[in-house]
Structure formats: structure tokens, C-alpha cells
Amino acid sequence: MPLTGRPASSRSRPASSRFRPALPGGAGRWAAPPAHVTPPAPLLTPVICRGRAVLCCRLRCALGRSGGLSDVGAFLLSFRLSVPSQRHVPLGAAHRVPVAAAGRAVGAEPGAGGATEAQRGAHPHRRSGRVPGRHGTGGRREGAAEGRSGLGVGGLCERGRVVRAWGAHLEVGSGRTDPVGASLCGAVSWAGWMDGMGLLPALPLRSYWLVPLTSVPLSQTPMKKTNALIAQMGVTFLNAYVPSALCCPSRASILTGKYPHNHHVVNNTLEGNCSSKSWQKIQEPNTFPALLKSMCGYQTFFAGKYLNEYGAEDAGGVSHVPPGWSFWYALEKNSKYYNYTLSVNGKARRHGENYSVDYLTDVLANMSLDFLEYKSNFEPFFMMISTPAPHSPWTAAPQYKNSFQNVSAPRNSNFNIHGKNKHWLIRQAKTPMTNSSIQFLDDAYRKRWQTLLSVDDLVEKLVKKLEVHGELDNTYIFYTSDNGFHTGQFSLPIDKRQLYEFDIKVPLLVRGPGIKPNQTNKMLVANIDLGPTILDIAGYDLNKTQMDGMSLLPLLRGDKNVTWRSDFLVEYQGEGYNGSDPTCPGLGPGVTHCFPDCVCEDSYNNTYACVRTMSTSWDLQYCEFDDREVFVEVYNLTADPHQINNIAKTIDQEILEKMNYRLMMLQSCSGATCRTPGVFDPGYRFDPRLMFSNHGVRARRFSTRSLSSI
């Protein structure tokens, strides 16, 4: 059963004051193509410049690192900087270029997925591996002055000027702990930027590519090609997290660079602001792809899963194209592999169940390859590819359905044990699990891995395409995911949403210019950092944004003595039925996502906020639940990496006080105030005014004395 979203009969509880909804509305503008560009064919046509998901910037620089498997999808972002050639081939032109590795059946329509096309011959108009006007892979235009190279090309988007970068390319992928949905430029991978601008021939452009990941280390996943092409060629972030372990809030954080309390997307429902009119009006015009397109002159491309409620009739249907996207191929609603509808630049396109033309991962791969083949060489580009795999329903391609027959879910020390001293929702899980429950989650784990093999193929095809066109060395590729996943930890069935490491930790891989291969980084990073990083590489002044995240650029360059965060905020607002779940009437009202044995994954009062701290002295997680229990969970991950023992009763009371104040401050932070020193940093100081900077006064919810009742 699908675990994201909720039954139509359920309703989300009204947002709390900490998650104040934004105003309703929403409309955008169409991205006008340059006058010299011939209108492209129906497959890839200019789209309303609003959106996120998969972005392909003309800048060529790939950032990417895999980190594991997650429950939603994989994301791939690519952003490239390079000198444009003198030739322009309109995207989706009548003469399609056959791509041997694209996995498209002979004679299949553009963008179709399925069988390989090894028997297809070279198209007479196929562009050679060398881009006209370039030599080798350097991307320099003949006769051009020596330009700046490496990370952080200044001047591309300085002082609000719209500047057209040469062929930049960026890729970002999402990481997860378990094999769940992998998406390129969809759930977690998105890219896209602005309208045309003046050329800067002395400045090589960069491209960005964002690809979704899962939260399992690539060395422990089926994605061997992704590991070799991104992780081993760049940097792997070992401590990458999401501020909310659920698809829609996490994806919104990627797009906006903000915590959920600032973008107001609190769960997967329209009532929770997931792709609502309010989201469309207030947040979409200010996403990093929208800034890339409007302020930095990028051509942007999105393909795959966007937000869970995208395409809902109450929010404009599939005709709505978010601002910031030149080319838009978004999945209606939540994850599917067959029998789905795509919004193709605002027009509905229905797909069936024929593998050769309808398998979604392959369709997204072929659309992405088409974009790379026919994009303008006079503008930088950004791509975001968001594959639902390995999200449920876990439908593998036919050739992979028998893979991994001996694979089972990991049996860590927190597998199939009781969640003692935890919030009631965790304690209600039946322990030990039945044999049938264990067989179910092992089967789900295998199927997730099987779906990821097609994502692995997608990454390989795109990297090879960049290499053939001489753009790979000047493209950043990011690979990550929108959340983690649990499979039997604390006897919980498959899902996410919870505060623990297995749900909030994701993979993040990055490769690109100036990034040394086979590197690891232990800094504490979050998906709110992706937008600031890409804008920083493009040269945009981050002081002009209200983003909560930090640019990863200094870490990617390997700068020494970088001042970095030691903590970040995790927050979630639970979903539930107003009435009893029909499958588990004895549990009473307020729960949802219940399994046949009445183990429920969510409830109204599964609403919590945490400070995740990682410093030289502490590896700590402090969480408060918004319920009548005034429940608190605290974990020392140095001594207890699997979070088995809640130490809220035994930890030093002074530390509890500090963490409580820090949590209040982070829940009210906005922009720069979200980046102040943590409680264990030398520069930390308590300033009560910071707690009231955004959403008003939040009274201290409990005293030291009340903690004794936990």
C-alpha cells in the first residue's frame, strides 16, 4: 500500500501557530524563447516559468554523491558553466537524435521508456561529441580570453544582472536510508533559471544537475554505476539530513532553501499547503530555480515527481506550471510507474502500461537526454530530475524483477525491538513483529532495490551524454533524496515521518569542477543548503534571499577554517483522521496510515520539533512533542547510535535548558537567524529576542520540574 499521502476521507488538522499558512493565490508568466529560436516540437516546448523538480542549467559542472536509499525518490541536479557554441538546436526539434543508451524502443515516440535502441543507426543530423566552438572538454570558446575557472564563478549573477552562462550543468541526487523513491529533478532534484542575458565570454559557465537519492550508502545499495560516476568522482557528505522526514515538506525545503515553518508546507495534503494555491502564490516565485531563470538567465528543465498534491483540481490542475521552469514534465499527484499523467508544459499527457513506452523512470531518462541534445548552446542550463523510485508501489522494470532475491532489510540493533521510553505512537507497534510482517518488509526492501536499477541506468546515460558533448568536466552533479525510510526499526513497518536517524538522514553526493575525487565530508548539512549552494555557484547574491540554509561551496572547494553550523532544526506536523481509522476502529480518532495489524505510522499528535546537534563535544538529538504528554526524547548518538535509549530523565538539566531555548529560537528563526551558533559553539550566546523574530512569542512549554514526569 502506498505510504505517502493519505486516504481521501482523511483530513489534516489545522496548522498550529508555528506553521502559519501562507496567503492564497498564484499565477506566473510564460518564459519567452529568444527570437531566433524555432518553436520546438510538442515533446519539449517552452513552459510557464514556474516550477521545480528537474532543472538543467546550461552551466556545466556536476555535483553529485550518493548516500543511500530513501522512501521517496531520487533527485539529480546538474548545472553547467561553459562557453556556448555558435550552433543552436531547438529543444524537441523535428529531427530527433537517437541515443543508443537512452533505453528507448525502436520506433517509440519521443520520451518513451523501455527497450534499448542498439539497432538504431546514427541520425544524419546528430551532433558530434565535440560541441562547435569548443575544443576538448574544457568548454572554452576559441579565441576567448582566459576566464576564471573552478568553483564559484563571480559575476554571473552579480548585482541582479541577468547574465547568460555558457553551458553549465548541475546534478543533485537525494539520499535515503532505505531504497525508496529515486527521482532525478523531481522530488529532490530540481533545477532551472532565468531568461536570456548578455554573454560573458571570459567567464566559463557552470551547469547543475540535481538527482534524488536514497538514504543508504551507495556501497550498500544496488546503484553501483551512480557510486562510480558520482560518489567516487566527487565528495560524499556523511552527515546530510532533511528538516522534515516527509515528501512534500522536504521537497519544499529543497526548492525554497527554508525550514517548514517558513515555507509553511507541513505535510502531504492540500490543507498542509502541499502544492496549494497559497504555496503557488507565496513560495513558488521565490524558489531557487525561479531565481536562476529570472535573475541569472538559465534555461531550466524539470522531469518527474514535483509535490504530492501537484495537479489537484482545487489547485489549478496540471495546467499550472510553477515559475522558473522553461521545460516542465511533472507527474500528477504521487508516485507511479505506469498508468500516470504527466503535465507536459501544462498539457495533460496520459501514459498506459506498455513498458517500452510508458515505464516512468525510462520516460524521464529519455526526456532528459532530449533536453541535453537540443537545449540552447547560448544559455546556461539547470536540470532537476525526480524519479519516484524507490517509492511505492515499487514496480521494477521487467528485466530487474528477479534481482536481489537474497537481499533482506538490515537487521541493526534497533530492528524488531520495542520502542520503550518513546512517544506513544512508537510504543504502540507490536513487538515482536509477526513472520508475515517481516516477510512483507523484506519483500518491499528487495523491490525498492529493483526499482533503483533503472535509476542507476538513468544516471549512467546522463553522465555519458554530458561526456559525449564535452560538458561533463564543467558540470556540477548533485545526487540526494527527500527523506529516509524505516523497515522494521522499533518494530515499525515501512514508512518515514519519524524523528530518528533512519528517517531524517539522506545521501548527498556531489561532483564537479574543483571537487577532488573520492572525498568525504563530515560537516552537518541539510537539504535547505542546496538552493543557496546552486545560487552561490551561479554568482547570485545570497543576501538578497530569505533562505535559511548555507552555501556548501566552501566545503566543495575544500576551503580550510570554514565556520559551519553545529545544529539544525527538524520539525513535522502529524496527519490523522478526524474519525477512527476504518481498519482499526479500536484505536480511536486521530491516527492514519494503519497496517492490518493496527500499527499506525502517523497521528495528529505526532507533531514534534527537534534540535539535531553535532559538535566536537556532543552528538545529540533533543525533541519535544506538541501533545498533552509534553513528551521529550533525547539521544546521545555517540554512545547510542541507533537511538534505543531515551535519556531525557538522566541527562544534565542544564543541557536540557539550553536545548529547550535553542529549539524555541530555531522554531522562530528566519534567514540569517537560522544560522546563529549552536549551544555548544564557542560563539553561542542566549538572546531571547531571537525567539520572537518570526512567528511571535512562543511560551516556554515546560520547566525543568515538569521533565521529571517524562
Enzyme catalytic residues: 247
Phi/psi region, residue 305 (left: phi>0; alpha: psi -120 to 50; beta: rest), is: beta
What gap in Å lies between CA 107 and CA 517, rounded to an integer? 40
Query: Which residue, among 602, 641, 647, has the nearest Cα to 623 in the 3D structure?
Result: 647
- The answer to whether the beta carbons of residues 67 and 506 sit under 8 Å apart is yes
Three-state DSSP at 449 gives: helix
Residue that is written with C-alpha cell 509535490 in the block: 307
Quote the cell numbers at residue 567: 545544529
Q: How many CB atoms lie within 10 A of CB 135?
A: 13
- Torsion on CA atoms 417, 423, 425, 426, rounded to nearest 10: -10
- The answer to whether the beta carbons of residues 611 and 666 sit under 8 Å apart is yes
Residues 6+ apart with CB under 8 A from 710: 630, 631, 632, 648, 649
Query: Directed axis angle between helix 288-296 and helix 247-256, to 10°?
Result: 30
Q: Which residues on neighbouring strands pair with residue 517, listed in sequence order? A: none
In the chain, the amino acid numbered 608 is: Y
Quote the cell numbers at residue 410: 538490515
Please state, in angstroms and as integers, the Cα–Cα distance from residue 87 to each residue in 29, 98, 145, 240, following that order: 28, 19, 20, 40
Helices assigned H by DSSP within 551-643: 553-557
What gap in Å lies between CA 269 and CA 688, rounded to an integer? 34
What gap in Å lies between CA 47 and CA 41, rounded to an integer? 12
Please state, in angstroms and as integers, the Cα–Cα distance from residue 44 to each residue in 296, 327, 329, 470, 541, following that order: 22, 6, 9, 23, 31
What gap in Å lies between CA 489 and CA 695, rounded to an integer? 35
In the chain, the amino acid numbered 298 is: Y
3-state secondary structure 401-431: CCCCCCCCCCCCCCECCCCCCCCHHHHCCCC
What gap in Å lies between CA 538 and CA 151, rounded to an integer? 9
DSSP 215: B
CA angle, corner 572, sides to 567 and 573, nearest 5? 155
What gap in Å lies between CA 359 and CA 452, rounded to an integer? 13
What gap in Å lies between CA 510 and CA 238, rounded to an integer? 12
Please state, in angstroms and as integers, the Cα–Cα distance from residue 273 to each residue in 19, 63, 70, 226, 315, following that order: 10, 30, 23, 33, 10
In this structure, are strands 600-603 and 608-614 parallel, antiparallel, or unpaired?
unpaired
CA 164 to centroid of chain Cα atoms: 26
- H or E element, residue 210: strand 207-212
- The answer to whether the beta carbons of residues 669 and 694 sit under 8 Å apart is yes
- H or E element, residue 663: helix 653-667
Helices assigned H by DSSP within 147-240: 224-226
Three-state DSSP at 356 gives: helix
